[in-house]
Amino acid sequence: MGFQQRIKVLQGGDVLAECGPMRLVISSFLGKVPQREMNIRAAEKSFEYLEQVAGARESLSRPYTDLPDQMREPLALEMVCSAMAIGDADLTPMAAVAGTIADAVANYLAGRGMTKVIVNNGGDVAIRLQGRDSVTVGIRQDIRSTDFSHVISLSPERSSWGVATSGLGGRSLTRGIASASTVIARTASAADAAATAVANACFVKDGRVIQRAADLIDPATDIPGVSVTLEVGHLEESKKSLALQRAREKAEELMERYVIFGAFVAVDGKIVMTNFFRESLLN
């Protein structure tokens, strides 16, 4: 790949793994005891996972309907399955790349007996729980903010959770106007693709919504020719409400098909959330 690999031990035994666009924070426990050495081993493994995905990037940058039948790489197939589950024609498997790598690292640790695992890949989070501990997750109303407006709890009744956030100003381009679109699913791969789709659906036509073709913003984009949002001016409350309604409808469609558990979407301070988020709130 040509990117420098970096592993750094953080306070409490968490480990940071960086390579090119990947920035993983890895945390694992046996009971209440942090597992520093296992985190280091998982960080080393994460570079292998990134290499595997990078090797298939050309194919994964196409719409899933155009992918070759001979694709066999497991992580690439997971990304394809996540894009297919969403079903949006212009969504490529690359929409699930960060979540898929987070899942792979989390599964590596869970498969070696860790009872609590949290792997955060730039905001796309894979969680694995085998004990009695729940995990709290902070929710932002703006993807560019470091402040959390809400906190939810994910219980150990499920062994696998995925959390992902997309929106205007995030790492990926968006077709919508969401300040933040956070989705909870069974895996981070599914949540990653779904958060992108829900954020894309959060759209309304207005002269103050400035869009450009994706390849004019990023020549290496996987969605050339697709209009993406560059900036959003001050919108009337009714326009925000309409965009949020469309995002909620997309989320509810995905919920009805059991792709996600729920979604939380914000546009410039105005929010909607599905019942899953409302029932999981701690504040």
- Report the pLDDT averaged over residues 58-62: 87
Total domain count for the chain? 1
Cα–Cα separations (whole angstroms), residue 183 to 87, 88, 99, 104, 156: 16, 16, 12, 19, 18
- Could you report the per-residue pLDDT of 80-95, keeping only the tens digit for each? 999 999 999 889 999 9
Amino acid at residue number 12 = G
Per-residue model confidence (pLDDT) at position 117? 98
Task: Please check whether residue 23 is in contact with residue 56, taking contact to mean a CB–CB distance below 8 angstroms.
Answer: no
Listing DSSP states for 256-269 in one string gives HTTS-SEEEEEETT
Per-residue model confidence (pLDDT) at position 73? 86
- Report the pLDDT averaged over residues 253-264: 98
Per-residue model confidence (pLDDT) at position 66? 72
- Report the pLDDT averaged over residues 6-18: 96
Q: Domain with 27 in it: what CATH number?
A: 3.10.520.10
Counting beta carbons within 10 angstroms of the beta carbon of residue 232, is it exposed (0 to 12), middle (13 to 18) or buried (19 or more)? buried
Cα–Cα separations (whole angstroms), residue 64 to 90, 139, 189, 190, 271: 9, 30, 15, 14, 31
The residue with greater pLDDT, 216 or 72, is 216
- Could you report the per-residue pLDDT of 228-255, keeping only the tens digit for each? 999 999 999 999 999 999 999 999 999 9
Model's pTM, two decimal places? 0.94
Amino acid at residue number 258 = Y
Provide the mean pLDDT of the chain. 94
Domain, as residue range, for 219: 5-280
The CA dihedral of 184, 72, 93, 137, to the nearest 10 degrees, is: 20
- Could you report the per-residue pLDDT of 105-157, keeping only the tens digit for each? 999 999 999 999 999 999 999 999 998 889 999 999 999 998 999 999 999 99
Amino acid at residue number 266 = A
Is 1's pLDDT higher than 80? Answer: no
- Report the pLDDT averaged over residues 25-31: 96
